[in-house]
Structure 1
Amino acid sequence: MSRQLETLSDFYRDRSSIQFPFSTADIETGKSHFNVNIRKYCNFKTPYNRRDFYKITLILGVGEINYGGNTILIDRPALLIPCPAVPYSWVSMSDEQDGYYCLFNQEFFNEHYQFDIFKRSPLFKAWSEPVIFLDEQQLTLIKVYFEQMLALAQGEYPYKYEAVRNLLCLLMHTILVEHPADTLTPNDLPASSRLLKNFDELLHQQFPLDSPENPLTMKSAADFAKVLNVHVNHLNAVIKGATGHTTTNIIKSRIVEEAKTLLLNTQWDISEVGYCLGFDEPAHFNNFFKKLTQTTPLQYRQAGRNGHI
């Protein structure tokens, strides 16, 4: 039965008999998490759910993906790169299933500048293609990346978390080089997908912020609707229908993400960070940040400097 949203806790609970190389005890809110494993126990049907985490799967085996109501037959080596906000399920159609997968949460995706380019790319977007079929040369290269990630994760190298992150970046760069997911021009996309794509691009084009003298200009659903030349109610309906989240919450999440980056990586004072993000009063920024993170900007900065993030 579908939960509607599968969390990392759900994922690991349903696979309690499987050993993972990285600890699964660090998945509470606010903790960066990554894991990788072999794809060996996939002879079953998964529920049709959204996820609250990212996942890249190398599928070797026959099966069907029901992705956002559309069925995709997997009958040769493929990568599955779903948008977490789009519900999907998997049904095996052969006994032999192999491959690899890695999964990571938003915090892992947010924590390093290396991932900024992927946030602006078609990867993990609701409007992009979730399945990429591989030729023999591509399959060989991608298998190497997964094998190296798994070997590092199982080893004792003290900087293996950082090394695995670099391999994940290489994997995602390879995906973009070999199979750019935005090969469709805007006019080829359905109207709702085109609007979603344009909204996503507008949102991410605003970042990173480089100076308090150049504050954020689009901070609300109405701001984006005006630039996109659509009614705000229509924008909200399209975003909610495609992602399960409101336009406002998506904007807030991206602003909080940038706030965390600025707090940890600049010497700006708290009021400058808040002003750059569009808050004229420090108290408004403080209340906004605390509501979404359960901590104040100052406490978050201090925790980062003490190595607790």
Structure 2
Amino acid sequence: MSQQLETLTDFYRERSFISFPFSTEDLGKGKSHFNVNTRKYCNFKTPYNRRDFYKITLIYGKGELNYGGNSIIIDRPAILLPCPSVPYSWTCLSGEQDGYYCLFNQEFFNEHYQFDIFKRSPLFKPWSEPVIFLDEKQRALLHGYFEQMMEMAHSEYPYKYEALRNLVCLVMHSFLVDNAVAQSQSQGNELSASSRLLKSFDELLHQQFPLDSPADPLTMRTPADFASALNVHVNHLNHVVKSITGQTTTTIIKSRILEEAKTLLLNTQWDISQVGYCLGFEDPAHFNNFFKKAAGMTPLQFRHTRLMPVI
């Protein structure tokens, strides 16, 4: 498994010859980012890496997707929603490549209420099927959504960012309605033992959120806490999580705690110490250190910075 991580900065650097609707210059930590484009320049092989961003692709053209070590031949219209933590690459097998893609970072996905339902769904999970082949009706519907994204991105409409988020939601709803990802919720017995454990860990982690009151702090914050709740040895849990996602259990837990910290800082009137305590930090200094190390700024700086309008 590749241990490399492709960032949004890497993505745009490798495609510097392509013009995008939205600026690619300001990709600083903590800032929401979204872009959309056509696939007419996607006739090259991408690296087999994990990503630090989400990407949804409507594929026309033949190619091979290497996803988590498995090969999938795509030879007809398809929609691709890979899990960023699973390494994957794309190799074109035909000269004609077309379609669309949109990409966005964790902040864009986390900070808007429209996406709450998808955070609880199987979308973008390591065990989910990343590809769905489309019939003509599905293809036409999704093609229309992406066409509207492109038109909206280049428009002067004052509420275009809200409209773009709604269009992304429609694409993801279509994926859930018409494909095996939605069905996988009732077919957990078809998953491998390792995938079932990872799925249970992920569900247990996300069931703790959102947090509603500083008086009701997190109860599970360490790999040992989750291993105990799942009735497995912590070393086994750590091995399974690392082997499938390429990340440590601790990294995944801290990442989710950081997401919730940002949400609470932006959407509540709790003071910094209350936010930290709710997330399991009894000492405000420990919360400040944790947040600054992960986000590159203190919780107070983040709150003040992000209160300014963003897309």
State TM-score, norm by structure 1. Answer: 0.95
Map 1:1-309; keep pairs closer than 5 Å.
4-184=4-184, 185-307=187-309
Cα distance between partner residues in 2 of 1:182 and 1:109 = 19
**CA distances 1:170-201 after superposition (whole Å, capped 9, x unpaired):** 11112111225152322210011111111111
Cα distance between partner residues in 1 of 2:51 and 2:197 = 23
Cα distance between partner residues in 2 of 1:147 and 1:70 = 31
Query: SS of the residue aligned with 1:89?
Result: strand
Cα distance between partner residues in 2 of 1:156 and 1:252 = 39
Q: Which runs of 5+ in 1 are unaligned?
A: none
8 A contact 1:128–1:182 mirrored in 2: no
**CA distances 1:116-152 after superposition (whole Å, capped 9, x unpaired):** 2212211111111010111111111111110111101
Report how far residue 30 of structure 1 moved. Answer: 2.0
Report how far residue 232 of structure 1 moved. Answer: 0.8
Report how far residue 261 of structure 1 moved. Answer: 0.7
Report how far residue 306 of structure 1 moved. Answer: 4.1
Identity score, percent: 74
**CA distances 1:197-254 after superposition (whole Å, capped 9, x unpaired):** 1111111111111112221111111111111111111111111111121111111111
Cα distance between partner residues in 2 of 1:279 and 1:6 = 31
Cα distance between partner residues in 2 of 1:120 and 1:80 = 19
Report how far residue 29 of structure 1 moved. Answer: 2.2
AA aligned to 2:201 is F
Query: SS of the residue aligned with 1:35?
Result: strand
Cα distance between partner residues in 1 of 2:3 and 2:299 = 33
Cα distance between partner residues in 2 of 1:287 and 1:14 = 34
Instruction: Answer with 290-299 or 56-65: which moved more.
Output: 290-299
Q: Which runs of 5+ in 2 are unaligned?
A: none
Q: State the superposition RMSD in angstroms.
A: 1.6
Aligned residues: 308
Cα distance between partner residues in 1 of 2:250 and 2:23 = 34
Cα distance between partner residues in 2 of 1:68 and 1:186 = 19
**CA distances 1:248-275 after superposition (whole Å, capped 9, x unpaired):** 1111111111111111111112222112
Query: SS of the residue aligned with 1:43?
Result: coil
